[in-house]
């Protein structure tokens, strides 16, 4: 049974799910309807949200290869894999997915932070206030059972990037923390620098 999480709520993934090894991190969002534009106003560009996973060692990002995103779809260990970029966020269900083999993630990694940024947000004058129905959910890859879901329902106007949540090790078990923290970082590089 899926647990619906609030911001800042933590939940154990391994405790009630014996043998849990692989999870699918599903992320989704929709464009909010925009207000009326003038007759000659240019048609706005679609909002391209990009999900990424940052693999941290002792809470720090130590190497570029530890950033899994549309330009680096698979970690060298093979334990974290991005399933590809969705350029528009159109359609039902998950817009992007990241698969994590929790059982095989090397012990040196203690945290996997899941972030989403808007591609060229500053140039396109786009922000998360123009996004609705954003969510992150954790799914047991064995049977596609949703373990927990966090709906990011706050107003994130002027925020160009978001820390959706983190999966982390604590006393030998894997947990998920629903974060929903917005930032004004213009791109993935600046967002990643927060963890160095």
In the CATH scheme, what is the code of domain 8-33+45-193? 2.60.60.30
pLDDT over threshold 70, residue 86: no
What predicted TM-score, i.e. pTM, was given to this entire model?
A: 0.93
Dihedral angle over CA of 70, 74, 76, 78, nearest 10: 160
Helical (H) or strand (E) element with 129: none
pLDDT over threshold 90, residue 143: yes
Domain limits, the chain:
8-33+45-193
Condensed to tens digits (0 to 9), the pLDDT of residues 1-34 reads 789 999 999 999 988 888 899 999 999 999 888 7
pLDDT over threshold 70, residue 96: yes
59/74 Cα distance (integer angstroms): 20
Within 10 angstroms of residue 46's Cβ, the number of other Cβ atoms is: 14
pLDDT over threshold 80, residue 39: no
pLDDT over threshold 80, residue 91: no
Q: What is the pLDDT of residue 46?
A: 86
Task: Please check whether residue 164 is in contact with residue 153, taking contact to mean a CB–CB distance below 8 angstroms.
Answer: no
């Amino acid at each position: 049974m899926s647990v619906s999480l609030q911001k800042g709520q933590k939940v154990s993934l391994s405790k009630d799910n014996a043998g849990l090894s692989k999870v699918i991190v599903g992320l989704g969002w929709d464009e909010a309807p925009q207000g009326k534009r003038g007759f000659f106003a240019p048609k706005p560009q679609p909002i391209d949200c990009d999900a990424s996973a940052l693999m941290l060692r002792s809470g720090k990002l130590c190497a570029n290869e530890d950033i899994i995103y549309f330009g680096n779809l698979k970690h060298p260990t093979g334990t974290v894999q991005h399933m590809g970029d969705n350029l528009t966020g159109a359609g039902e269900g998950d817009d992007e997915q990241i698969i994590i083999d929790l059982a095989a993630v090397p012990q040196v990694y203690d945290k996997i932070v899941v972030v989403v940024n808007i591609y060229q947000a500053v140039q396109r004058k786009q922000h998360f206030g123009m996004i609705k129905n954003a969510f992150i959910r954790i799914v047991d890859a064995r049977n596609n059972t949703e373990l927990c879901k966090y709906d990011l329902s706050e107003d994130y106007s002027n925020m160009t990037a978001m820390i959706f949540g983190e999966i982390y090790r604590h006393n030998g078990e894997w947990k998920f923390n629903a974060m929903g923290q917005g930032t004004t970082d213009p791109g993935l590089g600046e967002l990643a620098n927060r963890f160095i």
